[in-house]
């Protein structure tokens, strides 16, 4: 049934002349994308603003400044990458914001367009700037990989079914509004939005390593950070709830470290060298070293 639904969806997209797929930069993974960036940003920004008005911001000036500083470095690294590969238009409408919320939960989350929140409860596990870069690199990766667009598209397909999407796509704004109320509603699971799936979370781990490396943070600190996370007693922290098992996740990160370390040890480790290389001519949008 799932295969039939997917075939129907592909046929609908072809007949309607709508491109329903896009690719995630660096990983190249194809993703379903039925909702425009403008729709996603509009829906999520309202929910984010409503949330941040009532959230209790941390009064710890040092920790708050660290969250802002590390987040900004990683965002700058991402913008540098996108400009280098000629895809800066994909970040149109992004306005980066990093907030530290006084909450004991071991958690952090990302909203589309670069709105990222870190809870104070995760700071004892990050321990320092590099550990925090693991978390913020992961969340920035969710934003730039447009996992929220994909999440909404998947939700739309599940809600309306492939057979009804030809009509729904003709008025995608109203459909996105309906789905957005489920995905971004403050009453949704975890209070902000439904969690990403495991494939998206693993991809955010992968991209996060690269983004923190470009920002000048050694991605090698990711393994001990996730080991500390895995040792948390009691219920699974929300930040880890939709991930593969701890052992699988850490093993995957270890496999991805050599690639990330190439970025860190190259000219792109921005804390070590600020020279900009020549324009990338690789059609696969990969870095040259």
Structure tokens at 250: 């850490």
Q: Are β-strands 97-101 and 108-111 bridged in parallel, bridged antiparallel, or unpaired?
A: unpaired
How far is 38 from 33, CA to CA, in rounded Å? 13
Residue 202, SS3 per DSSP: helix
Please classify residue 219 by burial: count the beta carbons closer than 10 Å to its beta carbon, then call 0-12 exposed, 13-18 middle and 19+ buried.
Answer: buried
262 is annotated as an active-site residue: no
CB 100 within 8 A of CB 132: no
Write down the catalytic residue from 39, 47, 139, 150: 139
Please classify residue 167 by burial: count the beta carbons closer than 10 Å to its beta carbon, then call 0-12 exposed, 13-18 middle and 19+ buried.
Answer: exposed
Alpha helices in 58-216 (DSSP H): 61-84, 123-126, 129-144, 147-160, 165-169, 172-183, 198-214
Structure tokens at 56: 């209790």
Report the 10 Å Cβ neighbour count for 276. Answer: 11
How far is 222 from 202, CA to CA, in rounded Å? 13
* Residues assigned a catalytic role: 139
């Amino acid at each position: 049934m799932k295969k039939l639904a997917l075939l129907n969806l592909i046929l609908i997209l072809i007949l309607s002349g709508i491109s329903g797929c896009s690719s995630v930069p660096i990983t190249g993974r194809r993703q379903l994308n039925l909702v425009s960036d403008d729709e996603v940003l509009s829906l999520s920004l309202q929910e984010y603003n409503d949330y941040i008005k009532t959230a209790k911001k941390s009064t710890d000036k040092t920790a708050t400044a660290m969250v802002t500083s590390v987040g900004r470095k990683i965002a700058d690294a991402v913008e540098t990458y996108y400009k280098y590969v000629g895809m800066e238009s994909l970040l149109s409408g992004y306005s980066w914001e990093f907030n530290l919320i006084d909450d004991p939960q071991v958690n952090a989350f990302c909203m589309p367009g670069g709105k990222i929140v870190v809870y104070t409860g995760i700071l004892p596990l990050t321990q320092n700037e590099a550990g925090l870069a693991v978390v913020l690199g992961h969340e920035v990766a969710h934003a730039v990989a447009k996992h929220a667009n994909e999440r909404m598209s998947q939700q739309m397909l599940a809600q309306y079914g492939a057979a009804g999407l030809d009509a729904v796509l003709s008025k995608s704004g109203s459909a996105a509004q309906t789905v957005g109320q489920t995905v971004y509603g403050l009453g949704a699971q975890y209070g902000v939005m439904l969690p990403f799936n495991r494939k998206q979370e693993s991809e955010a781990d992968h991209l996060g390593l690269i983004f923190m490396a470009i920002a000048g943070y050694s991605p090698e600190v990711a393994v001990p950070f996730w080991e500390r996370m895995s040792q948390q007693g009691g219920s699974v922290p929300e930040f880890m709830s939709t991930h593969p098992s701890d052992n699988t996740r850490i093993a995957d990160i270890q496999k991805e470290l050599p690639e990330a370390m190439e970025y860190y040890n190259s000219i792109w480790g921005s804390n070590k060298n600020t020279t900009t290389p020549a324009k990338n001519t690789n059609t696969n949008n990969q870095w040259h070293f």
